[in-house]
Chain A
Amino acid sequence: MTFRHPSPTLAMTVLCGLLVVTGIGALALGATGFGFGEVFGTQTSSSLARVVITQIRAPRVVFAMLAGAALASSGAVMQGLFRNPLADPGLIGVSSGAALGAALVIVLGLGELFANWAVPLGGMAGGLASTALLYGFSTRNGVMSTNTVILAGVALGAFSGALIGILIFRANDTALRDLTFWTMGSLAGATWTRIGLLMPFLIVAALLIGTLATPLNALLLGETDAALMGYRVERSKRLAMLGVALATGPVVAFAGVIGFVGVVVPHLVRLMTGPDHRIVLPCSALLGATLLVCADTIARVIAIPADVPVGVVTAAIGAPAFVWLLARAERPDAPS
């Protein structure tokens, strides 16, 4: 079986083009029905159109791009680090911890504190605290056991789920609705201010993750071989967890739990480009951004005037597409 992949430059150019086209399309589509001309200034824009485009659609599209890129590249890091195709950013407890943090804020009725920042702040704190807890639990004498991370991550997720269950039991109707919506994921709350708050986290995470491409390639061969080739395995594992927590925590805190992007996108990219993380990481970010913008646009327009949670769309479209792709990739005559 030989490899026939497009060149990295071609793959990245195509994905960049796709992202631009998707972004323009997403700006043009929405509940208010402005046409392309109004959106892109060939006709005189009304002030309403300008407000809708610049203050509602544009931040939402940008937020979807950033969130999709963060979740997908984090998923690629996790799958490489754990050498496990089912790994996703949630594995290190970010999602479950963030869900618990947000649920606490919602159910205790603190949601309107700090000018409505309490839920995302609670989510962020919960996500980062839970990752730190998992790291501490899985590390002995400076060596982090990836197996323990996986198993403890599952246990932590179940425990967080139980605590959220208790909170749901205690919640009133309003809190229950907020909580349900949050756990299904939604980009409806995207604003330029929130994007501004998200950016520092994502920039630091991108810098960290950017240094991991070559070590992750070596780690595919196992920790022993990576160490023998001179890679600082423990440092790479710590940086990977930190990068993923910084990329995913704030996204989950603002947008809730958006499933499937972190698992599916790296798979799709590897089918296209092969396993080299120097290509998989940037391509995952680009494809993740594109797919989440698509999913969010569908979420916005599929049930106008209602706004369907984007997590529902990613799962509904992602799951069958993923199964079809896997079945196709496993065929003996399929190109790698």
Chain B
Amino acid sequence: MTLDIDAVSCRIGGRLLLDDISLRVPSGSLVAIVGPNGAGKSTLLRVASGLIPADAGRVMLDGVCLNDMTPERLATRRAMLAQDSPLRTRFPVRDLVRTGLRGIPAKEAEMLIAEVLRRVGMAEFVQRDVLSLSGGERQRVHLARVLAQLEAGARSDTPGLLLLDEPISAQDLARQALVLDIARSHVRRGGACLVVLHDLNWAASRADTVIVLAGGRICATGPPRAVLTPDMLAQTFTVAAPRVHLHDTTGRPFVVPHDITSALAAETENKDITCISP
């Protein structure tokens, strides 16, 4: 499964949210989108999912334009975890995950539901009311639903495209690793994954490619080490003196958002720490 976004622009309510975006997420690849708030990251994911149409350009899955696919077919080839869910009805976890499964025999569906819940660490919550769960647990139940949808689609096809919008925003440290490992395991099996992340270090440690988005345009794209540089971070995120270290074993970058040494020195001298404008 390969996602191609070709010269896509998107305007909503008169505002240009995406401006001439082109990118490729090949099979077996995890691509992270990072960028400041309001950069257009979620809009890009929604356009990639076919949820909102692009005003210009094309979005293709394995060379087929999303507009040429029926909603049912599209649902078997890509699934997306949105940032939040407006669910207000009491809903058993099992039934919520089942909504992602269509046209699957009941017995097989039960096995699939148990399997995806086990993967996200929610196996023992199968009978629980979703509204009684914590935010992080609820987010993982929705992730299980999304995984079930893709698994069902992959029964007669190759693994599909997984789109994740801030999937670790409500997770503790261990579950952040769990969620991103699930994404990595999906791409290892031949799927593709496009994920929006705010945590640059998780992006650096798990992504094959990092795309930096700001003001609806791609500012940088490439392997984490090439993209996550102090200059780029200072300019895009307007943070003071970011430091980038390299991990001893993996050689992947590790970002400290500001220079701790100078911050401590500034504190000692009773000076304010100010942000550097790009």
Residue numbers of A with Cβ under 8 A of B are 1-3, 83, 214, 217-218, 220-222, 224-225, 227-232, 274-276, 336
A221 touches B87 (CB 8 A): yes
The answer to whether B247 has its CB under 8 Å from any CB of chain A is no
Say whether chain A's binding surface is mostly helix, strand, loop, or mixed: loop
A227–B74 alpha-carbon span in the complex (Å): 10
The answer to whether B271 has its CB under 8 Å from any CB of chain A is no
The answer to whether B109 has its CB under 8 Å from any CB of chain A is no
- Which 8 A-B pairs rank lowest in CB-CB distance, beginning with the nearest? A230-B75, A1-B132, A222-B86, A2-B127, A1-B129, A230-B72, A3-B92, A230-B71
A228 touches B51 (CB 8 A): yes
Partner of A3, one of B51, B74, B129, B142: B129
Interface residues of B in 90-137 (CB under 8 A from A): 90-92, 95-96, 99-100, 102, 127-129, 132
Smallest CB–CB gap between B74 and chain A, Å? Answer: 6
A3–B89 alpha-carbon span in the complex (Å): 13
Interface string of B46-80 (1 = CB under 8 A from A): 00010100000000000000000001111110011
Contacts of A230 in B (CB 8 A): 71-76, 102
- Known contacts: A3-B127, A227-B71. The answer to whether A222 contacts B99 by CB under 8 A is no
B102 touches A229 (CB 8 A): yes
A228–B142 alpha-carbon span in the complex (Å): 12
- Known contacts: A2-B128, A83-B88, A229-B102. The answer to whether A217 contacts B95 by CB under 8 A is yes
The answer to whether B7 has its CB under 8 Å from any CB of chain A is no
A274–B96 alpha-carbon span in the complex (Å): 12
A228 touches B88 (CB 8 A): no
Which chain A residue shows the least CB distance to B98? A217
B127 touches A229 (CB 8 A): no
A86–B142 alpha-carbon span in the complex (Å): 26
Which chain A residue shows the least CB distance to B125? A2
Which chain A residue shows the least CB distance to B92? A3
The answer to whether B149 has its CB under 8 Å from any CB of chain A is yes
A228 touches B95 (CB 8 A): no
B100 touches A274 (CB 8 A): no
A214–B99 alpha-carbon span in the complex (Å): 8
Partner of A275, one of B89, B127, B128: B89
Which of B85, B87, B91, B99 counts the most A-chain CB atoms under 10 A from its CB? B99
Contacts of A231 in B (CB 8 A): 71
- Known contacts: A3-B92, A83-B88, A230-B72. The answer to whether A221 contacts B129 by CB under 8 A is no
Contacts of A222 in B (CB 8 A): 85-87
- Known contacts: A83-B88, A227-B51, A229-B149. The answer to whether A221 contacts B75 by CB under 8 A is no
- Known contacts: A1-B128, A221-B85, A228-B80. The answer to whether A275 contacts B91 by CB under 8 A is yes
A224–B82 alpha-carbon span in the complex (Å): 8
> 30 A-B Cβ contacts within 8 A?
A2-B127, A2-B129, A3-B92, A83-B86, A83-B88, A214-B102, A218-B99, A220-B89, A220-B91, A221-B85, A221-B86, A221-B96, A222-B85, A224-B51, A225-B142, A227-B71, A228-B49, A228-B51, A228-B75, A228-B79, A228-B82, A229-B75, A229-B79, A229-B99, A229-B102, A230-B71, A274-B90, A275-B89, A275-B90, A336-B129
Contacts of B79 in A (CB 8 A): 228-229
- Known contacts: A228-B51, A228-B80. The answer to whether A220 contacts B129 by CB under 8 A is no
Contacts of A227 in B (CB 8 A): 51, 71
Which chain A residue shows the least CB distance to B132? A1
Contacts of B72 in A (CB 8 A): 230
Smallest CB–CB gap between B226 and chain A, Å? Answer: 32
Smallest CB–CB gap between A41 and chain B, Å? Answer: 45
A224–B163 alpha-carbon span in the complex (Å): 14
A222–B99 alpha-carbon span in the complex (Å): 12
Contacts of B75 in A (CB 8 A): 228-230
Contacts of B87 in A (CB 8 A): 220-222
Which chain B residue shows the least CB distance to A3? B92
B90 touches A336 (CB 8 A): yes
Which chain B residue shows the least CB distance to A219? B99
Which chain A residue shows the least CB distance to B73? A230
Which chain B residue shows the least CB distance to A220? B89
A218–B71 alpha-carbon span in the complex (Å): 14
Smallest CB–CB gap between B150 and chain A, Å? Answer: 11
Which of A229, A230, A276 counts the most B-chain CB atoms under 10 A from its CB? A230
A83 touches B89 (CB 8 A): yes
A230–B80 alpha-carbon span in the complex (Å): 11
A217–B94 alpha-carbon span in the complex (Å): 13
B95 touches A276 (CB 8 A): yes
Q: Name 20 extra pairs, CB < 8 A, besides A3-B128, A224-B82, A228-B75.
A: A3-B90, A3-B129, A214-B102, A217-B95, A220-B91, A221-B86, A221-B96, A221-B99, A222-B86, A224-B51, A225-B82, A225-B85, A229-B75, A229-B79, A229-B100, A229-B102, A230-B74, A274-B90, A274-B95, A275-B91
Contacts of A2 in B (CB 8 A): 127-129
